[in-house]
Amino acid sequence: RKEVEQDPGPFNVPEGATVAFNCTYSNSASQSFFWYRQDCRKEPKLLMSVYSSGNEDGRFTAQLNRASQYISLLIRDSKLSDSATYLCVVRVLTGGGNKLTFGTGTQLKVEL
């Protein structure tokens, strides 16, 4: 089983739609969680951290379910500019330091 798993998509949605992505992780000792956004041929950039109580940033809502070992990202009122790949990231403290593992990413295409 992969350490971090995501549905690769693509998710094709109309502008204004609400879309949700899920991500599961296998290591129960995982300590912190993030969503990154990656545009085509660019480096990933932090979209938001994911906190235990859930958190919201404008149209974006992230949630964590430790019992089931998954995190989610909800995007409301999708914009054309939201088209990108969304990467789920998990940090685990190992004997050698902080290991940051990425999922394969979920591709989102927002259309007119």
User: Which spans of this chain sit near other proteins (rule: CB under 8 A)?
Assistant: 6, 31-32, 34, 41-46, 49, 51, 87, 89, 91, 93-94, 96-105
Our CB check for other proteins shows the closer of 9 and 74 to be 9
Using an 8 Å Cβ cutoff, are 105 and 87 in contact?
Answer: yes
Our CB check for other proteins shows the closer of 17 and 55 to be 55
Q: Determine the number of helices (DSSP H) and then strands (DSSP E) in the chain.
A: 0, 11
CB of 104 to other proteins, least distance (A): 4
Our CB check for other proteins shows the closer of 44 and 75 to be 44
CA nearest neighbour of 9 among 24, 20, 25: 20
Q: 3-class SS at 78?
A: coil
